Structure 1
């Protein structure tokens, strides 16, 4: 087991932890999904800051903004994009049904839901999104990305070079995410985790399991649950492992075909 970490590494914001990981492990490929267009640390940081600034233009600092996406590069970029600009991600369980999702939206005070047309069409969730659109504004990330121009790209280059200068200042004890129980017993119950909670959980795993930065971690678990988010997305990014995100744990054939192709060392299931 490695030497105990400096306590300061546990008490940090998510953006600072991501930037520090780049400094520790180098600007390596760190994130990929089934589209097979991997991002390096810098690519992830640039994408997060650019998309996050677009979302910031339609929200308020500290606002809770819902994400309705499967495990993918898109959900990770969106999650960190919200943090880069001081917004709080609210992860919605798209399998929970209309009533439970509306209850979660009401409980968290969400005004906007970020999602993608491709996902909604492939998952045949058009009726669900239409219903949710009656209680919150649906923001299509596909359309947001189409508005990214040269000025945004130049901003991304600058933010990628000095992200701590460009990030909206937050505190480790500020909200990091809001997750919800499944609603099996009554309405879904919201759980707020601080940024420090999320970073510390990832660091604690790494203290007990020897993780090799050369490994590839394959995560098909949803980021609307704590394990898929903390272990499947945040942990590998902070510990230098390339994270391969896959949208469903139910696709046994596709997953087993992909594992050797992406040279996965760890599989969550």
Structure 2
């Protein structure tokens, strides 16, 4: 019987993160799933709900942990908590937690201060947070012999592709979300630079786009399905595929799954 893989998911209490963990709970493979949320109560509630599902593998376990990626103290507390739990190795880190503030500003004639706040908070959560968290967890991800042993995923968006934004016929060309889109373009760069920094240390990196999904990110779910949005279960497919080893040929790229077809976004 194979040993459980240990996976840490940020923002795992709802949306894409939650449904990715649900898919892993229902996988025949064994996992130790560390679910983080900004509050411990939200993480515990999500773990309780997921634990009520019949696991496909009885060895799979869920661990709730509080984490605010915008707080250095919270990141340090997470590292300490993992040590308390005697977790000395991570097989995967999924940087999923993120925010989108642009939608709340549309049609409101926002002030310069409000626009600046949207950029600063979005960049802090979507870029600086994942970078600092990943750096803090590298000792648990790296292997001494350099063999690929672990995976780091950055959940991004096709909206962050400058190539797609430059195409006049792209469905992403005219989506008005400058703070969010800029943050995802920056996150893709974080992924590339991390890949260079840890080359030969046994860690593979990806940025992955779940696509436009019916989640709470960026505002209410209402109307998103009518606009062609995927279910969060469908969006989780690309993350599960990486975690289960089906995208090893796309290391260091921005990957997606659209209409059941695996693809790669340009920069």
TM class, shorter-length: under 0.3
* TM-score, length-scaled by structure 2: 0.28
Q: Answer 1 or 2: which has greater helix percent.
A: 1
Q: 1 or 2 for the larger relative contact order (CA 8 Å, sep ≥6)? A: 1
* TM-score, length-scaled by structure 1: 0.27
